């Protein structure tokens, strides 16, 4: 994505340059990412961006969280594991035997998700093939965006917003929790120095610059490298009276705070305190998100049939009979596979009629997500004390009219939808500020977002 920002002129625009699939690959060792393919495609995209725009000043990188690559010297020790791999579940108890969850929560402020890096690292050492994984061989561990930054620049850093999702960063310090790392028996030396969004990571490696035809002087700048952190930057909200839903594969539902909330109630509600840009706190909960729909569609398409999502959603919108509202948070929906079958299984266990047609399944998913979104916004408000008056939906979910409308109706609050490309916008704005094309607080940056991408409003009044 190419971004052009001029705060004084009030302009902010994005140009799509390249888009490519990024699916998991099942290898003998488990579910992995094709990092090498991802890097190939993104560098091709960068080269294309440099052909279109010769005055690119900087590059910012963001991706999903928690997953990492291990390096020995410059060599990547295998493709990174995918957080949906099954290996993590078995490692959870071992970690909690050393550091009980209540203690972890006090230290790192994170909701329990079995794939948090801390559990993945414990699983790494107890690989199902009987080996002890690659942790013992590695001399550095880099989360996915940091791994990309390393390939581009040669610098090994850990960007703070994403590092905060590992479970190994102190919620109050923003630094690696060395004592916890030592107690868990992880090699402290693999963790790279923490940098903040806005810090320069320096120039491209000369070989990379030549390969990509990069303009002279282009540098890599740390942004909110956790995609959700960048997305929250671009929510055109007043954090004192708004909640946000960053809705794509996941639905990240919460509020932005100045200070973490690590109360027993927040822990019991499984709310996370992830690091935001400018020291803000992303107090939120992971709701399963549009994964429920995309993975169902993938299942239906497994024999080669192509399903038109727009048509499916239109059919879902015209379902008039009541549909099952299931618990979108149920852990059974986490792994890839037969999602419709698992939804039907949930319904059978809870004595509610399961959806029958694909349109009913889609409607049931949307209703269940809207209900989970509404309930989670209410919880976020109670736990944090933020008096929520509006809900902002950003990300791909902002295009889903049925979901936005039902979220407004189920929550009783107006939903403001957009921007769709919030993550890319937040990424670009933090770079723009670092380069002097914009200045001020997140509120100043959000004012620019609000004027460039007017949100679409959904009223809470029922049909
Ligand atoms: C969203 C996201 C979530 C994180 C999940 C796994 O893309 O980054 O914030 O919990 O993916 O990394």
pLDDT of 463 over the 60 cut: no
Segment 120-163, tens digit of pLDDT? 999 998 877 777 789 999 999 999 999 999 999 999 999 999 99
Mean pLDDT of the chain: 97
SS3 content of the chain, % helix, strand, coil (to 5): 40, 20, 40
Does the C-beta of 364 come closer than 6 Å to ligand 1? Answer: no
* Rounded CA separation 368/433 (Å): 39
Quote the pLDDT of residue 70.
97
Q: How far is CA 376 from the centre of its chain?
A: 17
Does the C-beta of 66 come closer than 6 Å to ligand 1? Answer: yes
Per the CB < 8 A criterion, the answer to whether 413 and 380 are in contact is no
64 Cα–ligand 1 center, Å: 5
Q: What is the 3-state secondary structure (H, E, C) of 46-97?
A: HHHHHHHCCCCCEECCCECCCCEEEEECCEECCCCECCCCHHHHHHHHHHHH
Atom in ligand 1 nearest the alpha carbon of residue 113: 10
* Rounded CA separation 273/408 (Å): 25
Atom in ligand 1 nearest the alpha carbon of residue 274: 9
Per the CB < 8 A criterion, the answer to whether 48 and 117 are in contact is no
Return the sign of the alpha-carbon dihedral for residues 154, 157, 161, 165.
positive
Quote the pLDDT of residue 462.
55
Does the C-beta of 252 come closer than 6 Å to ligand 1? Answer: yes
46 Cα–ligand 1 center, Å: 23
Q: How far is CA 451 from the centre of its chain?
A: 25
Does the C-beta of 249 come closer than 6 Å to ligand 1? Answer: yes
Segment 389-441, tens digit of pLDDT? 999 999 999 999 999 999 999 999 999 999 999 999 999 999 999 999 999 99
Q: How many CB atoms lie within 10 A of CB 293?
A: 23
Segment 323-344, tens digit of pLDDT? 999 999 999 999 999 999 999 9
Segment 256-294, tens digit of pLDDT? 999 999 999 999 999 999 999 999 999 999 999 999 999
3-class secondary-structure state, position 286: strand
Tell me the pLDDT band of 225, cut-offs 50, 70 and 90.
very high
211 Cα–ligand 1 center, Å: 31
Segment 346-390, tens digit of pLDDT? 999 999 999 999 999 999 999 999 999 999 999 999 999 999 999
Per the CB < 8 A criterion, the answer to whether 221 and 198 are in contact is yes
Question: Which residue ranges form the domains of the chain, and what is each CATH number?
Answer: 2-222 (3.30.420.40), 231-462 (3.30.420.40)
Among protein residues, the one with the nearest Cα to ligand 1's atom 12 is 65
Atom in ligand 1 nearest the alpha carbon of residue 227: 8
Q: Say whether 227 is catalytic.
A: yes
Per the CB < 8 A criterion, the answer to whether 172 and 91 are in contact is no
Of 31, 65, 68, 224, which is best to mutate to test ligand 1, by the most ligand atoms within 8 angstroms of its C-beta? 65
Of 82, 227, 229, which is best to mutate to test ligand 1, by the most ligand atoms within 8 angstroms of its C-beta? 227
113 is written with which tokens? 């998700």
447 is written with which tokens? 């004012």
Listing DSSP states for 131-153 in one string gives S--STTT-SEEEEHHHHHHHHHH
Segment 46-88, tens digit of pLDDT? 999 999 999 999 999 999 999 999 999 999 999 999 999 999 9
Per the CB < 8 A criterion, the answer to whether 346 and 325 are in contact is no
Strand partners, 176: 169
* Side-chain half-sphere CA neighbours of 88 within 13 A: 21
Among protein residues, the one with the nearest Cα to ligand 1's atom 1 is 64
User: Which candidate in 62, 67, 177, 227 is catalytic?
Assistant: 227
Among protein residues, the one with the nearest Cα to ligand 1's atom 4 is 65
Among protein residues, the one with the nearest Cα to ligand 1's atom 7 is 64
pLDDT of 240 over the 90 cut: yes
Nearest Cα neighbor of 58 from 134, 4, 14, 98 is 4
Does the C-beta of 434 come closer than 6 Å to ligand 1? Answer: no
* Rounded CA separation 455/244 (Å): 13
Quote the pLDDT of residue 345.
98
Per the CB < 8 A criterion, the answer to whether 221 and 58 are in contact is yes
* Rounded CA separation 431/197 (Å): 8
Per the CB < 8 A criterion, the answer to whether 176 and 194 are in contact is yes
Of 88, 146, 165, 329, which is best to mutate to test ligand 1, by the most ligand atoms within 8 angstroms of its C-beta? 165
Nearest Cα neighbor of 260 from 279, 239, 237, 288 is 279
């Amino acid at each position: 994505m190419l971004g052009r920002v001029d705060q004084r002129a009030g302009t902010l625009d994005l140009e799509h340059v390249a888009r490519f699939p990024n699916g998991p690959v099942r290898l003998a060792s488990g579910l992995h990412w094709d990092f090498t393919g991802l890097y190939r495609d993104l560098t091709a995209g960068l080269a294309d961006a440099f052909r279109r725009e010769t005055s690119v000043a900087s590059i910012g990188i963001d991706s999903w969280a928690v997953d990492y690559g291990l390096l020995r010297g410059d060599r990547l020790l295998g493709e990174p594991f995918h957080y949906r791999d099954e290996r993590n579940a078995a490692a959870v108890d071992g970690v909690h035997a050393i550091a009980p969850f209540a203690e972890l929560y006090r230290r790192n402020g994170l909701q329990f998700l079995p794939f948090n890096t801390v559990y993945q690292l414990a699983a790494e050492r107890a690989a199902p093939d009987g080996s002890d994984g690659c942790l013992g061989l590695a001399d550095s561990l880099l989360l996915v965006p940091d791994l990309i930054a390393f390939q581009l620049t040669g610098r090994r850093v850990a960007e703070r917003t994403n590092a905060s999702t590992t479970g190994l960063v102190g919620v109050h310090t923003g630094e690696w929790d060395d004592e916890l790392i030592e107690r868990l028996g992880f090699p402290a030396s693999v963790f790279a120095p923490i940098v903040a969004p806005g810090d320069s990571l320096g120039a491209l490696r000369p070989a990379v610059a030549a390969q990509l035809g990069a303009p002279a002087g282009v540098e890599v700048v740390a942004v909110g490298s956790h995609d959700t952190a960048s997305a929250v930057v671009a929510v055109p909200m007043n954090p004192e009276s708004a909640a946000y839903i960053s809705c794509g594969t996941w639905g990240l539902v919460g509020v932005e705070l100045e200070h973490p909330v690590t109360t027993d109630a927040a822990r019991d509600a499984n709310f996370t305190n992830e690091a935001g840009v400018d020291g803000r706190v992303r107090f939120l909960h992971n709701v399963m998100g549009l994964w429920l729909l995309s993975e169902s569609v993938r299942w239906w398409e497994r024999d080669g049939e192509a399903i038109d999502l727009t048509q499916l959603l239109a059919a879902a919108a015209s379902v008039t009979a009541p549909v099952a509202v299931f618990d979108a948070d149920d852990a059974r929906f986490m792994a890839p596979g037969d999602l419709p079958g698992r939804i039907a299984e949930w319904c059978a266990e809870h004595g509610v009629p399961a959806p029958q047609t694909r349109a009913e399944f889609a409607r049931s998913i949307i209703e269940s997500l809207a209900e989970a979104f509404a309930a989670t916004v209410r919880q976020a408000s109670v736990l944090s004390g933020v008096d929520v008056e509006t809900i902002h939906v950003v990300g791909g979910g902002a295009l889903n009219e049925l979901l936005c409308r039902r979220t407004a109706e189920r929550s009783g609050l107006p939903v403001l939808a957009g921007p769709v490309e919030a993550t890319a916008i937040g990424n670009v704005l933090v770079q723009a500020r670092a380069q002097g094309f914009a200045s001020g607080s997140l509120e100043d940056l959000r004012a620019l977002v609000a004027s460039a991408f007017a949100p679409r409003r959904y009223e809470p009044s029922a049909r």
